[in-house]
Amino acid sequence: MSLEQHLSNEQLTAIAAEYGTPVYVYNADKITAQYQQLTTAFAGQQVRFFYACKALTNPHILRHVHSMGAGIDCSSINEVKLALYAGAQPGNILYTSNGIAFDEIAEAVNLGVHVNIDSLSNLEKFGARFGNSYPVGLRLRPNIMAGGNLKISTGHDKSKFGIPVDQVQQVLALVQQYNIRVNCLHIHTGSEIKDVDIFVQGIEVLFDIVPMFQHLQYIDLGGGFKVAYRKGEQVTDINELAAKVGAAFANHPNPNGQPLEVWFEPGKYMVSECGYFLASVNVLKETAAATFVGINTGFNHLIRPMFYDSYHYIKNISNPDGEPKQYAVVGNICETDTFAWDRKLNEVREGDLLLFYNAGAYGFEMSSNFNSRYKPAEVMVKDGAVTLIRRRDTFEDLLRNVEPL
């Protein structure tokens, strides 16, 4: 877990005092540093990065990412519209979705963005509607098991994602029937991939298929780079990845004679470590099993620990010199919402401020109004300047789309 480009306890305490808790805080400078790590590692290669915005879609974050030169990878048509709203040009937006009505794909085409198709059914509909008038990519399922756990593994042989590679002959039949211009082959094997050879395996799968398509310009290897949630945890070695990807493409030139541009879709890698989540301690409850620290949030605001059994490093920034003790950190929702069990923290008191690290990816983005609780505010810090980028919900927001009684 890196603390480079980190925000200080004093900065975070001041933000909590001004905007209340719970609150999400994003350090834009850390996002910039992560992107620069990628571009530096891959310097000299024909590689392009599209930020997988499903991790965090606040338009202020999208605008910052776009300002660095990165593209935006979208998983829904509304994410496409948010990227456009944030100022991204259609040519810098990539749209890949699954299980969706064809109307959504048609809308993406009308907006002029890059499109990847995920099923034979929608590929046939695309061919019937657009023929060769609009280039399109194909998301393939490489039948590779990878990722931090099954819920975030997307390339194995039981995954719903992508067209299975063993159906490539059916793909080619549709391409020929409708004269479809396939310009991209896409795979994504999962999230939190530590072994860079997983990406090389995917490349090898694609190189068997590349000669079958005459109009290829791009190979999209997806994302899933691992970041550290615990101190000392293994992460994706981006420099090693760049070296192995470069070597693989050097040894397998495009048989069509045109150089292939490689695309990646980093999401968590870009924003996980930029994010902090601050919550206040409501109550302490002593029991035989544990000392429970009840905080003013729950899985309605940060669902990852309950949904993925994910670990978030937690720190008591109100009492950094307190004697370390063991606690169970729990939320205020009417379900079990344990953030941490048997976790050592500096002595916790009611009213203290707890800080969750690595909260930038899939934190606010997966939040809800469960128990009719308000969604928290979002704050961005850039070059030392603090900006509110989403206000906290009010009661009126709970009634916003409700028809009057």
Q: What are 90-125's pLDDT values in tens digits?
A: 999 999 998 899 999 999 999 999 999 999 999 999
Q: How far apart are CA 180 and CA 126, in angstroms?
A: 8
Give the pLDDT mean for 55-66.
98
- For residue 69, how many other CB atoms are within 10 A of its CB? 11
Q: Are residues 282 and 227 in the same domain?
A: no
Asked if residue 30 is part of any domain, the answer here is no
Q: Are residues 46 and 188 in the same domain?
A: yes
Asked if residue 66 is part of any domain, the answer here is yes
- CA angle, 390 then 111 then 262, to 5°: 85
Whichever domain contains 204, its CATH number is 3.20.20.10
What integer pLDDT is reported at residue 158 of this predicted model? 59
Q: Is 304 annotated as a binding residue?
A: yes
Look at residues 197, 192, 96, 75 and name the one whose alpha carbon lies nearest to residue 140.
96
What integer pLDDT is reported at residue 337 of this predicted model? 93
Q: Are residues 288 and 378 in the same domain?
A: yes
Q: How far apart are CA 224 and CA 246, in angstroms?
A: 18
What integer pLDDT is reported at residue 131 of this predicted model? 95
CB burial class (10 A; 0-12, 13-18, 19+) of residue 22? buried
* DSSP structural state of residue 208: T
Q: How far apart are CA 120 and CA 137, in angstroms?
A: 12
Asked if residue 7 is part of any domain, the answer here is no
Q: How far apart are CA 16 and CA 280, in angstroms?
A: 9
Asked if residue 352 is part of any domain, the answer here is yes
Element (H, E) at 327: strand 324-330
Q: Are residues 210 and 281 in the same domain?
A: no
- Two tokens, residue 397: 């927001």
Q: Are residues 50 and 103 in the same domain?
A: yes
What integer pLDDT is reported at residue 169 of this predicted model? 93
Q: Is 362 annotated as a binding residue?
A: yes
Q: Is 218 annotated as a binding residue?
A: no
* DSSP structural state of residue 196: T
Q: Are residues 97 and 138 in the same domain?
A: yes
What integer pLDDT is reported at residue 192 of this predicted model? 61
Domain that holds residue 155: 42-266
Q: Are residues 51 and 158 in the same domain?
A: yes
Q: Is residue 328 within 8 Å of 294, Cβ to Cβ?
A: no
What integer pLDDT is reported at residue 259 of this predicted model? 84
- Name the H helices within 272-370: 304-308
Asked whether the predicted pLDDT for residue 154 surpasses 70, the reply is: no
- Give me the active site residues, please: 334
Q: Using 50, 70 and 90 to split pLDDT, how confident is the model at 292? A: very high
What integer pLDDT is reported at residue 166 of this predicted model? 86
* DSSP structural state of residue 322: S
Work out how many domains the chain is built from and give that number. Answer: 2
Q: Are residues 257 and 311 in the same domain?
A: no
Q: Are residues 62 and 145 in the same domain?
A: yes
Give the pLDDT mean for 38-47.
96
Residue located via tokens 């290829």: 216
- Two tokens, residue 298: 């729950």
Q: Is residue 266 within 8 Å of 51, Cβ to Cβ?
A: yes
Q: Are residues 238 and 315 in the same domain?
A: no
Q: Is 384 annotated as a binding residue?
A: no
- Two tokens, residue 307: 């949904």
Q: Which of 266, 298, 319 is the last residue of a domain?
A: 266
What integer pLDDT is reported at residue 150 of this predicted model? 38
Asked whether the predicted pLDDT for residue 304 surpasses 50, the reply is: yes
Q: What percent of the chain has pLDDT over 70?
A: 92
Instruction: Write down the pTM of the prediction.
Output: 0.92
Asked whether the predicted pLDDT for residue 156 surpasses 50, the reply is: no
Q: Using 50, 70 and 90 to split pLDDT, how confident is the model at 250? A: confident
What integer pLDDT is reported at residue 5 of this predicted model? 55
Q: Three-class SS string for 86-142?
A: CCCCHHHEEEECCCCCHHHHHHHHHHCCEEEECCHHHHHHHHHHHCCCCCEEEEEEC
Asked whether the predicted pLDDT for residue 189 surpasses 80, the reply is: no
- Two tokens, residue 96: 């890949």
Strand 353-356 vs strand 338-346: parallel, antiparallel, or unpaired? Answer: unpaired
38 contact partners, CB below 8 Å, separation of at least 6: 49, 238, 264, 266, 269
What integer pLDDT is reported at residue 146 of this predicted model? 40
Which of 43-57, 208-222, 349-363, 380-394 is predicted with the least confidence, judged by mean pLDDT? 208-222
Q: Using 50, 70 and 90 to split pLDDT, how confident is the model at 157? A: low
Asked if residue 386 is part of any domain, the answer here is yes
Q: How far apart are CA 68 and CA 70, in angstroms?
A: 6
Q: Is 308 annotated as a binding residue?
A: yes
What integer pLDDT is reported at residue 145 of this predicted model? 37
